[in-house]
Amino acid sequence: METVAIVGVGLIGASFGLALRKAGFSGEILGVSSRSATQAAREVGAISRAASLDEAAAQADLLYLSQPVDRILTTISDLAPLLRPGTLVTDAGSTKVSVTRRAAEFLSPGAFLGGHPMAGKETSGAAAADANLFQDRLYLLTPSGKEGEHAAEFRQWLRRIGAIVREIDAEEHDRTVAFTSHLPQLLSTVLAATLQAQDNQNLQTIHGPGLLDVTRLALSPADLWSSILSENRQHVILALDAYIERLIQARAAVQSGEIQSLFAAGKMFASDLRNKSC
Amino acid sequence: METVAIVGVGLIGASFGLALRKAGFSGEILGVSSRSATQAAREVGAISRAASLDEAAAQADLLYLSQPVDRILTTISDLAPLLRPGTLVTDAGSTKVSVTRRAAEFLSPGAFLGGHPMAGKETSGAAAADANLFQDRLYLLTPSGKEGEHAAEFRQWLRRIGAIVREIDAEEHDRTVAFTSHLPQLLSTVLAATLQAQDNQNLQTIHGPGLLDVTRLALSPADLWSSILSENRQHVILALDAYIERLIQARAAVQSGEIQSLFAAGKMFASDLRNKSC
């Protein structure tokens, strides 16, 4: 794998470039994105130079698509007529069913390996990129069967950048992250929006550290989440409904004063989560 | 102020003892609690020795009530016949209306100064105590008017332990923390309980760092929260209803794909919170 092209050099894409460099990758890293984004990525050392998608498809052994999910879908279609045999396309999209379907439809078998690094920050853009972003974080792959030489090499690089690689079915992925990522994002945003709507200045100063924890995700960029929630709408609605049902039960428990079993269940999950997290 | 008695030497009470010592308090610090709790508090150096409530009332210039709110109410009633003139009683309870009402009913004017340190951890007990717990944290007081010599001295010690002292009306306090503390606690617990109920092992391993943030509060002890939610039931239900209404709007926004204004409102509050927090 001599040349890598990163399509979309925001936080994840630029961090992948920095992580590759830190792990010893000495080939060229092309960046495909807007002029301002590639300039920022070049300034932090995440890419060697900017390139068009055509150039990237003609030169790279690995195309790393780290755009919002809706744009990844478009890029896959756009890439189809440009790809050389043997080039590997992978993505870092937050949903996997629609992406792997699009790849199966447009790309030849073995040309695509879906991925999702379970890493991130509430900040965005190449300026926030971090060579250690993937260190000790889960990196999910949704293999479709046949894999070529570059796939094996890509998996090696994931391990070299410190990621914990695990395989998962695309449908199971989307169902799971609806609960563990998309639901927490919505709850955090809805809490912050609820407090914003109260028009009470005290709410911003009279609080403990817990409010900062629970509202951190509300800093996330809306455009990114717009496409994630659209692509995973069905699972997100199911997760929201499960939560709303339990929240209404919790309201009744507050009314009756019987909150023990609710808190016991919550504490059990939160404790297990910390014991089993990687 | 020569002798302080801390009634309830859990995380907050034992941290107050440690913080006083660190700030140079050289008088005796009595601890009123169960045998095991006072032993743990003595081991970490938070108290000089264990005492009964009677002894504490007879000897201390300041009685610091750091129990769950329902127990603070009982202690105030129990203290009434024991207190000497000039002794100051203060509390660290998470709700203020019921506590200040009880004090107004049972104690003489000026004998009580309500308080609420906006500090804490998800762990409990004297073993988790921290001399810096109050450092740079808001410490709310709900003065009722008349204050004696020991109240001025207590306020000085609060500043010496690094707390940012601010006064607030008890009713306004309870209304505010229903939104900024009690609501986030419930949302975190309900999220963890919802995930627990899914019976899916993947939920504990397939997630990003955001899930750890949002579920941290779910580790909090149920017995503490049982009394907080009971004492502040009316405000908590109003906060829950405001949240549920907005969550149902958010569900519709996910259905229609129009999440921009929701995310914009959330991001605005979350950003302002970080700029204005102390």
Q: At B271, is the secondary structure helix, strand, or coil?
A: helix
Using the predicted structure, report yes or no on whether residue A278 has a pLDDT greater than 60.
no
Using the predicted structure, report yes or no on whether residue B121 has a pLDDT greater than 80.
no
Exposed (0-12), middle (13-18) or buried (19+): which is B252, by Cβ within 10 Å? exposed
pLDDT of residue B234: 97
- What are the tokens at A90? 């992978």
Q: Do A120 and B168 touch (CB under 8 A)?
A: no
Distance from CA of B127 to the nearest CA of A (A): 19
Using the predicted structure, report yes or no on whether residue A215 has a pLDDT greater than 90.
yes
* Average pLDDT rounded to a whole number, residues A211-230: 93
The set of residues, in sequence order, having a beta carbon less than 8 Å from that of B24 and lying 6+ positions away, is B160
**Torsion over CA: A11, A14, A17, A18 (sign):** negative
* Cβ-based contacts of A120 with chain B (< 8 Å): 208-210
Using the predicted structure, report yes or no on whether residue B58 has a pLDDT greater than 90.
yes
Using the predicted structure, report yes or no on whether residue B276 has a pLDDT greater than 90.
no
Whole-angstrom distance, CA of residue B141 vs CA of residue A113: 58
User: Would you say A277 and B210 are in contact if contact means Cβ atoms under 8 Å apart?
Assistant: no
Best mutation target, A95, A171, A187, A200, to test chain B (most B CBs within 10 A): A187
The set of residues, in sequence order, having a beta carbon less than 8 Å from that of B201 and lying 6+ positions away, is none
Using the predicted structure, report yes or no on whether residue B278 has a pLDDT greater than 60.
no
Q: Do A225 and B259 touch (CB under 8 A)?
A: yes
Lowest-pLDDT choice from A115-124, A182-191, B62-71: A115-124
Beta-ladder partners of A139: A117, A165
User: pLDDT category, A146, cuts 50, 70, 90?
Assistant: confident
First to last CA, chain A: 29
Best mutation target, A96, A233, A254, to test chain B (most B CBs within 10 A): A254
Listed as own residue / partner, the contacts of A275-278 with beta carbons closer than 8 Å and 24 or more positions apart are A276/B204, A276/B205, A277/B204, A277/B205, A277/B207, A277/B212, A278/A136, A278/A137, A278/A138, A278/A164, A278/B205
Using the predicted structure, report yes or no on whether residue A201 has a pLDDT greater than 90.
no
* Average pLDDT rounded to a whole number, residues B180-187: 97
Nearest Cα residue to A19 out of A140, A119, A123, A114: A119
* Average pLDDT rounded to a whole number, residues B6-10: 97
pLDDT of residue A221: 86
Distance from CA of B57 to the nearest CA of A (A): 31
pLDDT of residue B147: 87
Tens of pLDDT, residue by residue over A77-114, are 999 999 999 999 999 999 999 999 999 999 998 999 99
Q: How many CB pairs under 8 A join A and B?
A: 335
Indicate the pairing of strand B88-91 with strand B62-65: parallel
A262, closest residue in chain B (CA to CA): B193
Using the predicted structure, report yes or no on whether residue B88 has a pLDDT greater than 80.
yes
* Cβ-based contacts of A136 with chain B (< 8 Å): none
Using the predicted structure, report yes or no on whether residue B172 has a pLDDT greater than 70.
yes
Best mutation target, A136, A194, A276, to test chain B (most B CBs within 10 A): A194
Q: Between B195, B263, B264, which is nearest A179 by CB?
A: B195
Which residue has 């207590």 as its token pair?
B154
pLDDT of residue B277: 58
Distance from CA of B163 to the nearest CA of A (A): 13
User: Would you say A135 and A162 are in contact if contact means Cβ atoms under 8 Å apart?
Assistant: yes
| Residue B15 Cα distances to A77, A221, B66, B140, angstroms | 60, 38, 10, 17
User: pLDDT category, A277, cuts 50, 70, 90?
Assistant: low
Best mutation target, B215, B228, B229, B271, to test chain A (most A CBs within 10 A): B215
Neighbour count for residue B36 (Cβ, 10 Å): 10
Phi, then psi, of B21 in degrees rounded to 5: -60, -45
* Average pLDDT rounded to a whole number, residues B242-266: 97
Whole-angstrom distance, CA of residue A154 vs CA of residue A157: 5
Q: How high does pLDDT run on average in chain A?
A: 95
Q: Between B180, B186, B215, which is nearest A250 by CB?
A: B186
* Cβ-based contacts of B233 with chain A (< 8 Å): 254-255, 257
pLDDT of residue B111: 95
Q: How high does pLDDT run on average in chain B?
A: 95
A117, closest residue in chain B (CA to CA): B208
The ipTM assigned to this model is 0.90
Query: What is the SS3 string spanning B134-188?
Result: CCCCEEEEECCCCCCHHHHHHHHHHHHCCCEEEECCHHHHHHHHHHHHHHHHHHH
* Average pLDDT rounded to a whole number, residues A217-238: 94
- What are the tokens at A157? 């690089």
Using the predicted structure, report yes or no on whether residue B199 has a pLDDT greater than 90.
no
Q: Between B211, B241, B271, which is nearest A184 by CB?
A: B211
The set of residues, in sequence order, having a beta carbon less than 8 Å from that of A198 and lying 6+ positions away, is B179, B242
User: Would you say B241 and A254 are in contact if contact means Cβ atoms under 8 Å apart?
Assistant: no
- What are the tokens at B165? 């002292």
Beta-ladder partners of A65: A7, A91
Q: Do A273 and B192 touch (CB under 8 A)?
A: yes
* Cβ-based contacts of B210 with chain A (< 8 Å): 120, 181, 184-185, 188, 216-217
- What are the tokens at B48? 């000089």
Distance from CA of B101 to the nearest CA of A (A): 21
Whole-angstrom distance, CA of residue A211 vs CA of residue B224: 18
Buried b vs exposed e over A13-51: b needs ≥16 C-beta within 10 Å? bbbbbbbbbebebeeebbbbbeeebbebbbebbbbbebb
**Between A276 and A141, where is the model more confident?**
A141
User: pLDDT category, A119, cuts 50, 70, 90?
Assistant: confident
User: pLDDT category, B257, cuts 50, 70, 90?
Assistant: very high
Q: Between B185, B260, B265, which is nearest A197 by CB?
A: B265
Over pLDDT 90: what percentage of chain B? 90
Which residue has 């699972």 as its token pair?
A235
The set of residues, in sequence order, having a beta carbon less than 8 Å from that of A152 and lying 6+ positions away, is none
Best mutation target, B188, B200, B234, B263, to test chain A (most A CBs within 10 A): B263
Q: Do B188 and A277 touch (CB under 8 A)?
A: no
Indicate the pairing of strand A112-117 with strand A138-142: antiparallel
Q: Between B197, B218, B266, which is nearest A196 by CB?
A: B266
User: Would you say B191 and A165 are in contact if contact means Cβ atoms under 8 Å apart?
Assistant: no
Distance from CA of B225 to the nearest CA of A (A): 8
Over pLDDT 70: what percentage of chain A? 99
Lowest-pLDDT choice from A3-17, A140-154, B181-195, B257-271: A140-154
Q: Do A260 and B222 touch (CB under 8 A)?
A: yes
